[in-house]
Amino acid sequence: MSKKFYITTPIYYVNARPHIGHAYTTIACDTIARRQRMMGFDTYFLTGTDEHGQKIERAAQAAGKTPQQLTDEVSAQFRALWDRMGLTYDDFIRTTSDRHKLGVQALWRRIRDKGYIYKGHYTGQYCVFDELYVDSVGPGEPCPECGRPTETVREENYFFKLAAFQDQLLELYTRQPDFIRPETRRNEVTSFVRSGLRDLSVSRSTFSWGIPVPDDPRHVIYVWLDALANYITALGFGSDDPEKYERYWPADLQMIGKEIVRFHCVYWPAFLMAADLPVPQRIMAHGWLLFEENKMSKSRGNIVRAETILEVLGTDALRHFLLREIVFGQDGSFSFDALVQRYNADLANGLGNLASRTLTMIVRYFKGEVPYPSHSGSRAAEENNIATTARRTIADFHALFEQCQFSRALEAAWGLVAAVDKYLVENQPWALGEKDDDESRSRLATILYTSAETLRIVTALAHPVMPDATAKIWGQMGLGDIGKFSLADLQWGQLRLGTKLGEVQPVFPRADKAAIERMQQLEEQGRTVSPSVAEKTSPPASTTPVPIMPAAPVKPATIVPDGKISIDDFAKVELRVGQVKVAERVKGADKLLRLEVDLGTEVRQVVAGIAEAYAPETLVGRKVVIVVNLAPRKLRGLESNGMIVAASPEGGKPVLASFLEDVPVGTRLK
Ligand SMILES: [Zn+2]
């Protein structure tokens, strides 16, 4: 039986519909899975959705749906997008499925029976957004992870003896240096664990949208214990049929985003050790995908959907861009300009051009059959050069891919494309093609063979990254089904002489400015026509999304006499109650304070000229009025997202607008 390879994406939380960030992780895993299959591994690729927890329960309530309805809807959106993109997952696990529930309960019992779960009390602050108890803050203080308000809870809970695993975890990180990649994340986790671990609360009794604790159904199992278990429940752990579990576990590669490193690299191995189960081989954390250097967020209105790119440039263009442009593990930036530039340079002008000119010349000069290279030519050194470069490229590409260094691997492959382009320009096969003498014919045959063989090698290497286009090129080269090709055997010189080409057609038409405009337009439409689930399900006080640009032309203001404005004009200004979470002076600006203001659904940075009137520490916790839909602007290099409302007496200091009665955060003023 061939060697197995088990790869997982994180399961995606269904509080938002899928966007390009989710696609990024899943594409990376799909690429690895495709390559492992081509390398002859018995590969199993898992993805799915994470569907329990208080956040989902509340979101469903606000939307007038049951949690099951909400999760059914959003989970289906993820699955539909992955299918549309042709992602080759072998299983899609949902944490609300029966098979998952049974597996989680089996894992719980196993940990409990080994003595690592006990009952205790917890009183303290809880962050609903992060589904996390925050020990480090007191009542009324914001969550240190996300800045949102915390709630004080007192619960009888089950606890997991996490503290007991401190030494074993540190030992794991040393024994298995690849357990956490990249190195920066490994260092972070190691120092976190070294600083001491506290037992972890692993049940909740304040809400019910979760998996009941075995033998104590008043409690549900902590969402992270529930969610992490998907990697084994999907394989049938705890079921009557654990065959896949026995075959594929432990995972060879678990891909995650850097924000969930602690859960995967501390809690997850600790749960597994407690249950006496093997831990994964390798956990790889990638960075964030930024939009033109900014974090994508709902409030900025800059979340990009994968669908937009699929529609205009196709899946391969998106896959290639994400893996080529971004150094895997680090944050990377997405923009439509960069996407189109990369597409034209690497695909239309690079691989696409190499394919079309090589294959077209073989059709024209050799009746569409791969010609015989001549071994006696005086310039054989040049061909040897290309062959040597190709051999080195194959070796480098494999080594870099194994380390998830996709961008460098692709860079190496495109180095080979550049080398053969240069070779073609220097040797002018099109000029030789016009001559009839034997020497020219023989020389032309050698050049086109060399070019075609290079094309075959780059196409095979790039297949896991760009499955559609490379399959087409492979077919045009008369090589049949690329899916059946064994990448592990790829070598220079395998292109069979006399291979009859298929029909030659361009694979990557050039993209122009119109492509960028079309994508921007689609994004605007996507934002206004179908708001994200999170927007739909926010509490009524905060349903208004805040677009940076008006989606449609604003209708002209109604004319009202005496310089007055109509109620419609006033309604355009969105004023809301916010609470100051953080206030600090801005370096080099005597009048400015940088504030972080909680608006109930999000925390905004606002820069305000009130430093002469208010000491920053007096503002923390204070409720203020914010103009929420003001276009962002930069003050002293800081982005201000909204404006704080104050009375500004002539020649006096500003006085903040405030309320005598208590008003909930997020309430709209009208
Ligand atoms: Zn939080």
Contact, 248 vs 235, CB < 8 A? yes
Ligand 1 center–CA 423 separation, angstroms: 57
Contact, 640 vs 607, CB < 8 A? yes
pLDDT tens profile 287-314:
998 887 777 766 666 778 899 999 999 9
Ligand 1 center–CA 224 separation, angstroms: 14
Phi-psi region for residue 74, left (φ > 0), alpha (ψ -120 to 50) or beta? alpha
Of 540 and 31, more confident: 31
Structure confidence at residue 375 as a pLDDT band (50, 70, 90): low
Ligand 1 center–CA 130 separation, angstroms: 5
pLDDT tens profile 584-625:
888 888 888 999 998 887 888 999 888 888 888 888 888 999
Model pLDDT, residue 530: 42
Model pLDDT, residue 528: 54
Ligand 1 center–CA 146 separation, angstroms: 4
Model pLDDT, residue 524: 84
pLDDT tens profile 238-259:
999 999 999 999 999 999 999 9
Find the mean pLDDT for residues 275-292. Answer: 94
Ligand 1 center–CA 304 separation, angstroms: 24
Model pLDDT, residue 469: 97
Q: How far is Cα 104 from Cα 229, in angstroms, rounded to an integer? A: 6
Among 509, 8, 616, smallest CA distance to 255 is for 8
Structure confidence at residue 418 as a pLDDT band (50, 70, 90): very high
Ligand 1 center–CA 629 separation, angstroms: 24
Model pLDDT, residue 553: 28
At how many degrees (to 10) do helices 438-462 and 406-427 cross? Answer: 170
Q: How far is CA 6 from CA 231, 250, 569, in A?
A: 10, 8, 58
Model pLDDT, residue 340: 95
Ligand 1 center–CA 77 separation, angstroms: 26
pLDDT tens profile 52-92:
999 999 999 999 999 999 999 999 999 999 999 999 999 99
Ligand 1 center–CA 303 separation, angstroms: 21
pLDDT tens profile 619-642:
888 899 999 888 888 777 788 888
Model pLDDT, residue 555: 29
Q: Is the pLDDT of residue 542 over 50?
A: no
Computed over every residue of the chain, the mean pLDDT equals 89
Ligand 1 center–CA 144 separation, angstroms: 6
Q: Tell me the pTM.
A: 0.78
Neighbours of 290 (CB within 10 A): 17
Structure confidence at residue 544 as a pLDDT band (50, 70, 90): very low
Ligand 1 center–CA 601 separation, angstroms: 12
pLDDT tens profile 124-156:
888 888 888 887 888 888 888 888 888 888 888
Ligand 1 center–CA 136 separation, angstroms: 12
Find the mean pLDDT for residues 462-490. Answer: 97
At how many degrees (to 10) do helices 166-175 and 183-194 cross? Answer: 160
Ligand 1 center–CA 628 separation, angstroms: 22
